[in-house]
């Protein structure tokens, strides 16, 4: 205010609306994630290998889209502007949907990281027990920590509507309590990303693969490091959630970095299963018979179960080996061998007579990660 008593409006922040940028970012993330998960299911259906990791990633994308819808509702009503320029009705509406969007974003981290963990479980050896315990512990704790985080978002006030209607009489925690839990939750998610990125490297070195393929596999399964970096950058903006004076403006940065972290998590979790499509349509390592005929199991009496696509003949009476897994007779690690590494001689037609029984018995379980 000036010395004449007239308010100095030049000191007020400009009425900027960052909503269009926020919406463009979130819906671009949604479009890319939907396309990637659709391609993932196409690849898995072609080899009849849809499993828990695929469904969890699909659930992650669905949750992310729902959260983006709530953020859109908030943003279209002034959720990315300074609160001083909003009407009382807009303030009530936009802050309400801002709070409602938060648990969807939080829980998407649990399902997304669990999907990556189940992806790793698909192809680790049967005798690497401690690695399985690490993965199961990671899955359980990320669901617990992020689940509790979803609950505390609304449990911090009784009744919860006091979060967006300050005039409501309510008992609320000190915002610093929720802020400290947010820090803990963010750090735990970062640690989970690091564990899921490092763990595959501990057994990929033992796989029967050429060195260049080991390096490529390590890179694909270590993309979670990027998510950890984004999670670390997000931490500096968490205090915006504890601010109540200009909540709509201060929560913008945390929304941007939360969306970016979740998007990176979905992309890095979808890339490894898409390698099969890359080999089929780009590098041409798989021929046109890919996915067209049922995959059969051939048992050679050595304790190994060999998974063969009968239509994948190369014209010289040879069949490509899709994957080979040691049985309980061999306490060694699982071996994953590509199509280019080993070829099998043509098997007599009657060798497939009991393949359905063998397949149902579980002796030929596939460990291929794609």
SS3 content of the chain, % helix, strand, coil (to 5): 60, 10, 30
Rounded CA-CA distance 273/142 in Å is 22
**3-class DSSP state of 76:** coil
Task: Provide the CA 211 distance to its chain's centre, in angstroms.
Answer: 27
What is the predicted pLDDT for the residue at 133?
92
pLDDT by residue for the chain (370 residues), tens only, comes to 444 444 444 567 888 899 999 999 999 999 999 999 999 999 999 889 899 999 999 999 999 999 999 999 999 999 899 989 999 999 999 999 999 999 999 999 999 999 999 998 887 766 678 889 999 999 999 999 999 999 999 999 989 999 888 888 889 888 888 889 999 999 999 999 999 999 888 888 777 778 888 888 888 888 888 889 999 889 988 877 766 678 888 889 999 999 999 999 999 999 988 888 888 788 777 655 454 444 333 334 433 334 444 334 333 333 333 333 333 333 333 333 333 333 333 444 444 444 444 443 444 444 444 5
Rounded CA-CA distance 82/17 in Å is 8
The closest of 117, 110, 113, 80 to 95, measured between CA atoms, is 80
What is the predicted pLDDT for the residue at 126?
67
What is the predicted pLDDT for the residue at 265?
93
Q: Left (φ > 0), alpha (ψ -120 to 50) or beta: where does 362 sit?
A: left
What is the predicted pLDDT for the residue at 311?
37
Question: Do residues 65 and 32 make contact, with C-beta atoms less than 8 angstroms apart?
Answer: no
The closest of 149, 146, 131 to 196, measured between CA atoms, is 131
pLDDT tens digits, one per residue of 210-231: 888 888 888 888 888 888 999 9
Question: Do residues 34 and 65 make contact, with C-beta atoms less than 8 angstroms apart?
Answer: yes
User: Does pTM top 0.85 for this prediction?
Assistant: no
Instruction: State residue 308 phi and psi, 5-degree precision.
Output: -125, 135
Residue 187, token pair as written in the block: 């750090």
What is the predicted pLDDT for the residue at 211?
83
Q: What is the set of domains in the chain, with CATH numbers?
A: 15-280 (1.20.1070), 295-361 (no CATH)
**3-class DSSP state of 263:** helix
């Amino acid at each position: 205010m000036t010395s004449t008593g007239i308010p100095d409006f030049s000191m007020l922040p400009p009425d900027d609306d960052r909503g269009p940028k926020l919406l463009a970012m979130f819906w671009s993330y949604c479009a890319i994630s939907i396309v990637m998960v659709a391609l993932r299911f196409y690849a898995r259906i072609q080899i009849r290998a849809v499993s828990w990791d695929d469904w969890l990633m699909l659930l992650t994308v669905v949750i992310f889209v729902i959260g983006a819808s709530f953020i859109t509702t908030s943003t279209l009503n002034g959720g990315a502007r300074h609160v001083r320029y909003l009407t009382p009705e807009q303030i009530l509406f936009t802050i309400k949907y801002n709070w409602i969007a938060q648990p969807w974003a939080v829980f998407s981290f649990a399902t997304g990281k669990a999907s990556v963990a189940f992806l790793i479980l698909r192809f680790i050896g049967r005798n690497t027990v401690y690695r399985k315990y690490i993965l199961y512990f990671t899955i359980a704790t990320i669901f617990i920590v992020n689940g509790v985080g979803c609950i505390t978002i609304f449990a911090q006030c009784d009744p919860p509507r006091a979060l967006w209607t300050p005039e409501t009489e309510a008992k609320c925690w000190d915002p610093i309590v929720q802020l400290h839990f947010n820090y803990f939750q963010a750090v735990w998610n970062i640690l989970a990303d690091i564990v899921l990125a490092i763990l595959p490297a501990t057994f990929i070195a033992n796989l029967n693969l050429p060195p260049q393929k080991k390096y490529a596999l390590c890179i694909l399964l270590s993309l979670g490091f990027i998510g950890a970096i984004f999670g670390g950058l997000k931490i500096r903006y968490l205090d915006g959630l504890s601010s109540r004076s200009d909540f709509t403006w201060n929560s913008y940065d945390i929304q941007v970095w939360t969306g970016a972290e979740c998007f990176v998590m979905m992309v890095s979790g979808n890339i490894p299963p898409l390698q099969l499509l890359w080999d089929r349509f780009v590098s041409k390592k798989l021929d046109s018979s890919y996915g067209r005929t049922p995959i059969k199991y051939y048992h050679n009496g050595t304790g190994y179960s060999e998974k063969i696509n009968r239509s994948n003949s190369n014209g010289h009476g040879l069949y490509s080996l899709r994957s080979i897994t040691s049985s309980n007779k061999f306490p060694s690690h699982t071996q994953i061998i590509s199509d280019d590494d080993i070829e099998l001689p043509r098997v007599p037609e009657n060798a497939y007579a009991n393949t359905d029984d063998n397949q149902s018995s579980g002796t030929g379980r596939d460990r291929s990660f794609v």
